[in-house]
Structure 1
Amino acid sequence: MHAMQYEITLPAHYDMGIIRNRVATKGHLLDNFPGLGIKAYLIRERGEYSPVNQYAPFYLWATPEGMNSFLWGPGFQGIVQDFGRPEVQHWTGLAYEEGPASAALPRTATLHRAAVAASVAPADAVEAALEESRGLAKTPGAVATALAVDPRHWELLHFTLWAQEAPEAPGERYEVLHLSAPERERFGEGRQW
């Protein structure tokens, strides 16, 4: 499993209806994309929970071939043409868990990044993060949660989809406009090694 996200920060007075319409008319195009486990079409609107307007889709890839096919194919090229080339962040998947609301369509998502301190053994940090991820997965309203790591920068990432308003938690909060999940079942539960 590979996690990936790009963030397109938009002007403060940008009409987010444009992004909503884009997702409403094009979101279904990845509903059967080979190698894609999950794509959550995420937005943040400037206001109570966010200082910015942002379109920030988040992907969990079941195969690296799927991720490569997307990045070098027409889907991502449309983003580049319309918004410029964003920085694509990616992490190696560590764990995936379905939550008690796994059958529900997610309405919100949370994304929390945490640095692994240089004084902490990487294996110890991952074990603690796995335990936290298991706890998130058991939270009422959780649809699914994933844990990933960027070993270049030693950053852990917790991504959780929620069936309702996301609970108070550290990290960014997003609205989910659409979910494509053609190969979600390929992840399996628990650790990814």
Structure 2
Amino acid sequence: MTIAHYIHRLPADYDIGLIRSRAKERGALWNDVPELHFKGFLLRERGRFGAIASSYSSLYLWRTDEAFRNFLVSGRYKVVTDSFGRADIQTRFALDARRGRADDARFITKQELSIPLDADLTAAFASEIARNREVAEQQGTVAAIIGVDPQTWTFTRILVSEQEPTRESDAAAYEVLHLARPLLDSLPSAGSR
């Protein structure tokens, strides 16, 4: 599985209502995309949950790298570049992705953790996968994903939740404007091995 995330920083005077309308209009177009576990239309609004600027972003969990490739070459990303320009797309290999018991995706948090240079990678991977499975079982979890960037040796923890993020979290918090979820229910469920 491939995690893909891109962010468009918005000008300070940008009308956030336009972003909410865009997500509402375009969200349903993603509800039946083959090979897509989910796509989150996300808003990070200045002054909320620690955000110092507003941004609009999309977060995907693709079933295969070929599906992500097809997204890029089919012209689907052109809709984004035509409106907001070309953003860097952060990609990660998903080490584990689980469906939680909750259903109402209201927030997504994303946390980046550097893997220490002298860490035992096998043990670090096993620990993060075990942690992700525990998170998937927590109340309010819609989905939990752990990814890795082997170029920078960074873990990315993603939580799709119905619960508002806590202030103590060092994760970036996003409001979910729409969650297209064609294959979300095909992920292993919380508690399964």
Q: Same fold by TM-score, threshold 0.5 exceeded?
A: yes
Letter in 2 for 1:65: E
**TM-score, normalized by length of structure 2?**
0.91
Contact 1:5-1:88 at 8 Å conserved across structures: yes
Hey, what's the Cα distance between the residues in 2 that align with 1:45 and 1:53?
A: 4
Partner of 2:74: 73
Contact 2:99-2:187 at 8 Å conserved across structures: no
Deviations 1:85-141 (A, max 9, x none): 10011000100122231xx22011111111101011211221221222122112211
> Deviation above 3 Å: which 4+ runs of structure 1?
none
Query: Alpha-carbon deviation of 1:189?
Result: 4.7
Hey, what's the Cα distance between the residues in 2 that align with 1:88 and 1:10?
A: 17
Matches within 5 A, 1:162-181: 162-167=161-166, 168-181=168-181
Deviations 1:40-60 (A, max 9, x none): 111100003211111121100
Matched, 1:116 2:115: yes
Query: Alpha-carbon deviation of 1:187?
Result: 3.3
Query: Alpha-carbon deviation of 1:164?
Result: 2.6
CA RMSD in angstroms, aligned pairs only: 1.5
Q: For structure 2, list consecutive stretches of 5 or more residues without a partner in the other structure.
A: none
Q: Share of identical aligned residues, percent? A: 31
- Which region of structure 1 is more displaced relative to structure 2, 83-92 or 121-130? 121-130
Hey, what's the Cα distance between the residues in 1 that align with 2:26 and 2:48?
A: 28
Hey, what's the Cα distance between the residues in 1 that align with 2:22 and 2:145?
A: 26
Q: For structure 1, list consecutive stretches of 5 or more residues without a partner in the other structure.
A: none
Matches within 5 A, 1:1-193: 1-49=1-49, 50-101=51-102, 104-167=103-166, 168-189=168-189
Query: Paired residues, what number?
Result: 188
Hey, what's the Cα distance between the residues in 2 that align with 1:117 and 1:171?
A: 19
Letter in 2 for 1:133: N
Hey, what's the Cα distance between the residues in 1 that align with 2:125 and 2:18?
A: 39
Deviations 1:15-47 (A, max 9, x none): 111111111111111111111111111110000
Hey, what's the Cα distance between the residues in 1 that align with 2:126 and 2:14?
A: 41
**TM-score, normalized by length of structure 1?**
0.91
Query: Alpha-carbon deviation of 1:10?
Result: 0.8
